[in-house]
A = this chain, B = another copy of it.
Amino acid sequence: MRSEIIAVGSEMLTPFRQDTNSLYLTEQLNSIGVTVAFKTIVGDRRKDLVNSIRIALGRVDILIIMGGLGPTEDDLTREAVAEALSLTLRRDAAQVAALHARAASQRMTMPSNNLKQADVIEGATILANPNGSAPGQWIDTVYKDYRKLIALVPGPPNECKPLFDAQCLPRLREVVPPRFIATRTLKAAMIPESQADKLLAPIYSTYTDVDTTILAHAGDIQLTLLCTKPTLEAAQERVDELAEKMEEALEDWLYSSEAESLEQIVLYYLGLRQATLAVAESCTGGLIAQRITSVPGSSRSFLGGAIVYSDSLKTAFAGVPADLIAQHGAVSEEVAKALAQGIRIRTGATIGLGITGIAGPTGATETKPVGLVYIAVSDATKTEVWDRTFRGDRKRVREWASQYALDLVRKRLM
């Protein structure tokens, strides 16, 4: 069955914003055997919106309309869908009550325009939105003699995704003929994309029934394998067979065979070894700690650490001798080692991670270019240091450096 995704919002027709939810929705739709045939991005103009909806209903069976469900004057999706289908809107009393309750729980008075979020299209099912004030709507209708399934979902990703998963997918599954899809996602760190492709293309190109997609970002390579077969066993077998060959080829670049993030893997190994980690970050300025603590439950293995942006904090929090900094410079092998060792001892962690570098765009010296980063890992037995020079802007240098640092901790734990 073919679907279309309409993303609603004038901001996505500016040079500044892009729809990204549709990538997620496409993945979910594909997983139940629905292809996406068109994506349309349309602004907050009622006429354009009605026109786009009618066009979509004329060419696909399943229509997902994202955004335009909020409380503002620009939020016109409900009105436009009703107009396109020649249906009426009614204000739902239960939704009105829910909006009042929500405002009260946040100790806010509710602006009257918020109530339009309680407007429901004739015959539509309300899709509860636990993460926002605007509910979604589900319409199973007939348009020009054909059955059409229409989902109105909110635009913010944290509302759109859970609502789609919990309330649209199960409804679609009932309608779409069952197909069996097996997938696997392998992840590898710090291998250049071209090298990964050179290594893996001879392997995956012989599996013409498995779709292999390689995505690379800041030292992180994600390989997604997907196979569709009449039975799940047949699909799984092909995916697993290819995955095994690729895992072998990737050697210890591979860090996950189950799509976990690098920070999840580091925390997993810390737990396994009953070890704890502390960090002393200079150039990454909290990025490594932030990545680790983004994982729920990270407090079991991650103690915390210090952001030692100024030289005096390198001394105060990680015990780096001031004269060591004076002698070698804050960006040096010696200071990285002292940071790792110092933070480990100060915090009582099993492993200390120290990182110092020049994120740019300024700060380079004659011998130390922008992008130069020293990373040290320390445990009770030894303290080792590595250096790398990353290309690109401040953001990219920091992302690569945090990735490399987490990967070095992973390797120490293995």
Q: Tell me the A residues contacting B by CB distance below 8 Å.
A: 10-18, 20, 23-24, 26-27, 30, 35-43, 45, 48, 51-52, 55, 59, 70-74, 108, 111, 113-114, 131, 133, 158, 192-195, 197-198, 201, 205, 211, 213-215, 224, 278-279, 281-282, 284-290, 292-294, 296-299, 302-310, 312-313, 316-317, 346-348, 359-362, 391-396, 398
Chain B hits for A313, CB < 8 A? 278, 303-305, 347
A37, B308: Cα distance in complex, Å? 49
A14 touches B213 (CB 8 A): yes
What residues of chain B lie closer than 8 Å to A18, measured between beta carbons? 18, 20, 23
Given contacts A73-B201, A290-B290, 6 further A-B contacts (CB under 8 A): A39-B40, A40-B40, A73-B205, A158-B395, A286-B286, A316-B347
Using A35-B13, A51-B59 as known contacts, say yes or no to A111 and B309 having CB atoms under 8 A apart: no
Tell me if A197 and B38 are in contact (CB < 8 A): no
Residue of B nearest to A39 (CB): B41
A287 to B284, CA, bound (A): 11
Tell me the nearest residue of chain B to A30, going by C-beta: B15
Query: By CB atoms of chain B within 10 A, which of A38, A303, A307 has the most?
Result: A307
- Residues of chain B lying within 8 A (CB to CB) of residue A43: 37
Q: Which residues of B contact A396 (CB under 8 A)?
A: 131, 158
CB of B316 within 8 A of CB of A346, answer yes
Contacts A70-B194, A72-B194, A108-B192 given; indicate if A360 touches B296 (C-beta within 8 A): yes
| A114: B residues at CB distance < 8 A | 194
> Which residues from chain B contact A305 at a C-beta distance below 8 Å?
306-307, 313
Q: Could you list 27 examples of A-B contacts with CB < 8 Å?
A: A10-B211, A14-B26, A14-B224, A15-B24, A16-B215, A17-B215, A18-B20, A18-B23, A39-B41, A48-B59, A71-B197, A72-B194, A74-B214, A111-B195, A113-B198, A158-B392, A282-B304, A284-B293, A286-B288, A286-B289, A286-B293, A289-B290, A296-B362, A303-B309, A303-B313, A306-B317, A317-B317
In the bound complex, how far is the Cα of B179 from the Cα of A350, in angstroms? 63
